[in-house]
Amino acid sequence: MEAVLRGRLKREQRTGDAVVVGDRVLVDRQEDGKHTIEGVEPRRTELARRAPGSGGRRAKVVVANVDQLVAVFALARPAPRLRLLDRFLVVAESSGMEAVIVANKTDLADPARAAAGIDPEEARATQAGLEGYAALGYQVLRTSVTEGEGLEELRARVCGRVTVFAGPSGAGKSSLLNALQPGLALRTAEVSEAVGKGRHTTVSSRLIPLDCGGYVADTPGLRELGLWGVEPGDLDQCFPEFRPYLGQCRFSRSCTHTHEPDCAIAGAVEAGRVSGARLESYRKLLAGDDAR
Ligand code: GDP
Ligand code: ZN
């Protein structure tokens, strides 16, 4: 239903993000038949982007209550950049969302099917790299749109929930969305196209309903999403495998895990308990020098 903001919420909305897409709100019906938003329920999760005009210092919430982020990467064409995956995972952790990793185009790892110019051996190594994230507690789904692999698992994972899809261009997001529900990718593309026409600061997020229940969150400018609300001192908590070591560095919680002596995370990397590439991702993100 159409509803307008009133009073305190209306004043807050002018300066901030008092009510955003995905919020659960309390609506009242006025005597003239119009509806007003009277209250907003506490958010389970918040996805934020850089607030316009703040020089990147302030975060603005663009969608609330998204349950999970599905990070889609292909085994090849394009080969995944794990740095980007790490960035998506931090976005999910810092926003309070669950993260699921999709290793798509598994058909390319099959020597009998692999396309010309693709080394199935390399594709298998890439697949193993993505599956390594399962040890950190993330669900990793293997999918192939062409072979129909893993699509039921993906469906089971997104139906009834609010999901945001992320991944580099060409990884197979549109193909997967269309496999889940024909026409779904088209609906997200409509907004993307509008974004391309220069309305990118005003086009807002939307939730596209799934026939099986739940929604896909379409958030323009996903590249802008994420780390704007994360305090540097909290970034290490967004790496789940670091958590057992936090507070154990010589400088305790003030250690930035970049150069300090007796850093417990660096020690864990040396002992082979934490991946050096993940620590490198953390350091890059901390320095604001992340892979886009
Ligand atoms: P998006 O940019 O992430 O939305 O990627 P698209 O869905 O447009 O897919 C990019 C290309 O990869 C298209 O040519 C698809 O047909 C192809 N593609 C998508 N999924 C698969 C897959 O599982 N296997 C193979 N071999 N190709 C795929
Ligand atoms: Zn440390």
CA of 236 to the centre of ligand 2 (A): 9
- pTM of the entire structure? 0.91
For a ligand 1 pocket test, name from 106, 108, 145, 151 the mutation site with the most ligand atoms within 8 angstroms of its C-beta.
Answer: 145
pLDDT in tens, 232-276: 999 999 999 999 999 999 999 999 999 999 999 999 999 999 999
DSSP letter (8 states) at residue 209:
E
For the Cβ of 178 lying below 6 angstroms from any atom of ligand 1, the answer is no
Q: Which residue's alpha carbon is at the smallest distance from atom 20 of ligand 1?
A: 172
CA of 114 to the centre of ligand 1 (A): 14
Q: How confident is the model at residue 55 (pLDDT cuts 50, 70, 90)?
A: low
Position in ligand 1 atom list of the atom nearest CA 171 = 3
Region 90-98: mean pLDDT is 93
- Consecutive H or E run containing 280: helix 276-286
CA distances from 129 to 134, 144, 164 (A): 10, 17, 23
CA distances from 50 to 54, 199, 207, 233 (A): 8, 16, 20, 19
Tell me which residue of 116, 37, 135, 96 sits closest to 229, measured CA to CA: 96
pLDDT in tens, 160-215: 999 999 999 999 999 999 999 999 988 777 766 665 555 444 567 889 999 999 99
